[in-house]
Homo-oligomer: A and B are copies of this chain.
Amino acid sequence: MPKGQPEYVPQDGLTTRQRRNRPLLMVHTGPGKGKSTAAFGTAMRAWSQGWPVGVFQFVKSAKWRIGEERALRVLGDSGEGGSVTWHKMGEGWSWIQRPGSEENHAADAAEGWAQIKRDLAAERYRLYVLDEFTYPMKWGWVDVDDVVRTLAERPGTQHVIVTGRDAASELCAAADLVTEMGKVKHPMDNGQKGQRGIEW
C-alpha cells in the first residue's frame, strides 16, 4: 500500500499528530487466507516500535499458530523491541484440556474476554491481537454489544485487531479499518492439503 496522504482532512479539531496517533480498531474478516497472518505481521511492526503486544488466541488446534507464537516469543525475549504476551485457549483458559462440551467452550471464551477487558482497563498492551475472536461472538459465547461498547470506551492509545470470518456487522460498524480477505483461488479447492511453513 502506498504511504498516501489522506483523501481529505477532516474538520474534527484534532492536530495531525493527534490524528496520527489515534487508537485503531481493525477487523480482518472474509473467507480468504491472510486474516491472522496479517495481524501477526502487524504485531511485528508494533514489537519493533517497542510496544507491549498481547495476543489472545481463540483458536482450538494446538498446531495452528505455533510458528507465529514461537517467532513472537523469540522477538519478545530478544531484548530489542517490545514485550509479547501470548494468551492461549487450553492453557489459562483450558479451551482444549476440558472435556469438549459447548458449555465449557463458552465459559472459556467468556473468561478470555473478561481477561481482555481487564487488560484494556489497565492499558496493559499497546496492540491487542484477538485471533479468531469473531467465532465466540458468532456462536453467542461473547456478547457483541459488550465487545463493541468496551472497545469504544477503551482508554489511552490501545490498538486492537480482531480476526476471523463472519465478523459481526456491529463490530465492523465500530471499526476504523475493515479488510475483507476474499478467496479468489485456494489450493485446498484443488485437493491441496494444508502444509507446514505455510499454514502453521
Q: Which residues of A contact B (CB under 8 A)?
A: 1, 3-10, 12, 16, 19-22, 24, 26, 28, 30, 32-42, 44-49, 51, 61, 63-64, 66-68, 70-72, 74-75, 78, 80-81, 126-127, 159, 165, 172, 175-200
Asked whether A51 and B197 contact (CB < 8 A) given A38-B34, A41-B36, the answer is yes
Pairwise interchain contact B191-A63, C-beta atoms closer than 8 A: no
Pairwise interchain contact B38-A67, C-beta atoms closer than 8 A: no
Given A21-B195, A51-B197, 9 more A-B residue pairs with CB atoms under 8 Å apart are A5-B193, A6-B191, A24-B187, A34-B179, A38-B38, A45-B198, A48-B66, A172-B185, A180-B181
Oligomer copy total: 2
Asked whether A179 and B182 contact (CB < 8 A) given A3-B64, A75-B71, A197-B126, the answer is yes
Chain B residue with Cβ nearest A34:
B38
Pairwise interchain contact B188-A180, C-beta atoms closer than 8 A: no
The complex places the Cα of A72 from the Cα of B71 at a distance, in Å, of: 9
A20 contact set on B, CB distance < 8 A: 192-195
CB of A8 to closest CB in B, whole Å: 6
CB of A164 to closest CB in B, whole Å: 9
Pairwise interchain contact A187-B176, C-beta atoms closer than 8 A: yes
Chain B residue with Cβ nearest A65:
B45
Chain B residue with Cβ nearest A191:
B10
Asked whether A185 and B194 contact (CB < 8 A) given A66-B48, A75-B71, the answer is no
The complex places the Cα of A197 from the Cα of B82 at a distance, in Å, of: 11
Chain B residue with Cβ nearest A196:
B49
A71 contact set on B, CB distance < 8 A: 44-45, 47-48, 71, 75, 81
The complex places the Cα of A4 from the Cα of B33 at a distance, in Å, of: 13
A70 contact set on B, CB distance < 8 A: 48, 80-81
Chain B residue with Cβ nearest A187:
B176
